[in-house]
Structure 1
Amino acid sequence: MIGFIYELYVTHEFRGKGISKQLMKNAIDRLKLEGYSEIRLGVFAENHAIQLYEKMGFSVRNITMSLTV
């Protein structure tokens, strides 16, 4: 079974206070307790949160590309 974190958003006024990290830790802990052996999430390429996710052990699994015409 694969757990998935669909959305994580912290408004600008609360960023930089460790809220994202705590939310992620809580989600990961909960998914582990429920028996998920893998956790995935989606993130846009330019999102600064990628650094947080990498520090928490996430790695790039696939790349989606787009073309604006």
Structure 2
Amino acid sequence: MSAADRAHQIKGLDTPATALGATLYLPATRGDLAVVLLGGWPNLRSAVVWLEDGVRTDARLYGRACL
């Protein structure tokens, strides 16, 4: 058992820290962004919304509006 898993066990958390998995990077201009972030993918544990590199320069204002 890893140190992170032991710490979660001590805190009484059900899911070990190592169960987080990979982080999903989503461009802010993604049409179903709200659906994904609000539970549309029930197994998603970690997500980052891109406002810069993952979005074309001319679409950044639109991406911010999607949030």
TM-score, with length taken from structure 1: 0.37
State the structure with bigger RCO (CA 8 A, min sep 6), 1 or 2.
1
TM-score by length of 2: 0.37
Query: Larger helix proportion, structure 1 or 2?
Result: 2
Which has the higher Rg, Structure 1 or Structure 2? Answer: 2
